[in-house]
Amino acid sequence: MSSNTVYFITGANRATGLGFGLVKAFASRPNTVVFATARNPDTATELTDLAKANPNVHVLKLAVDSEADTKRVAAEVERITGGIDVVIANAGILSYTGSGLQTPIAAVEEHFRINTLGPLILFQALYPLLKARQTRKFFVVSSGAGSIKDIMPLAITAYGSSKAALNYITRRLHSEHLEEGFVIIPLSPGWVATDMGNAAATSVGIEKAPLTVEQSVAGQVKLIDNAGKEESGRFWSFDGEEIAW
């Protein structure tokens, strides 16, 4: 079993994305192993180049909504390290904007499959690997758009509802595994100038999202490092502020 701190991060395919930013941040530390997943590693050139330059980074092919894929990846991680300290379920989509009246049901189903079921599939597959270590941290990258109390003035019915449902699942997992020493947290990265964040911005007439990837990643890393049982089961922003459900 690896004595290094082992991180598992999904959705790391885009060089301008949060997942890739998180991989870079943790891979730069000594005594770490980082598993970074992408749906299609062959097109994730920057990620594969990073792995070539850093033998502590392992790139894994993963469709997060596939149970078979996730079980295969879990077996590969177990073979290499025997366990995982920190999981960051970052993979997600925002592929349709529109009001509830306009939104196709197929778009809602697609968002729920990736954004809501993907992290649950991941937790079910990686649970034994997390339990094999003492840290046992599981973060899901949610969104302020998933808050029902402070609903955003954006026409993102499919995306927002999928994140609200994800928040419930995360809170449920927290209550079920708190006594086992798990720290399970939904984490909002803020409105970040990624492809997804900028698409949401332009849909409401804004040139780009206000936060840089570097700003969001720095805040997320600090929260991930410091979060413990007192923070578990609560909805946190990257800047350390608690968000209303």
pLDDT tens figures, 6-17: 999 999 999 999
Q: Is residue 157 part of a domain?
A: yes
Does residue 245 form part of some domain?
A: no
Domain that holds residue 18: 5-237
For residue 38, being part of any structural domain is answered with yes
Is there a domain that residue 19 lies in? yes
Please pick, among 7, 96, 127, 159, the residue that the annotation labels catalytic: 159
Q: What digits encode the pLDDT tens for the residues 84-105? A: 999 999 999 999 999 999 999 9
Question: What average pLDDT does range 177-201 have in this prediction?
Answer: 89
For the stretch 143-180, pLDDT in tens is 999 999 988 878 999 999 999 999 999 999 999 999 99
Tokens of 30: 């000594």
Active site residue 222: no
What is the overall mean pLDDT for the chain? 95
Catalytic residue of the set 131, 163, 208, 229 = 163
Amino acid of residue 119: P
Which CATH number do you get for residue 178?
3.40.50.720
Is 243 inside any structural domain?
no
242 and 222 in contact (C-beta within 8 Å)? no
Alpha helix locations (H) across the chain?
18-27, 45-53, 67-80, 105-111, 118-131, 157-177, 195-203, 213-226
Task: State the pTM of this model.
Answer: 0.95
Burial of 102: CB neighbours in 10 Å, binned 0-12, 13-18, 19+: exposed
Which of 182, 192, 199 has the alpha carbon at shortest distance from 219? Answer: 192
Q: How many domains does the chain have?
A: 1
Classify residue 12: in a domain, yes or no.
Answer: yes
Catalytic site includes residue 163: yes
For tokens 């330059």, the residue is: 53
Which tokens go with 135? 């840290």
Answer yes or no: is 71 within a domain. yes
Residue 163 lies in a domain: yes
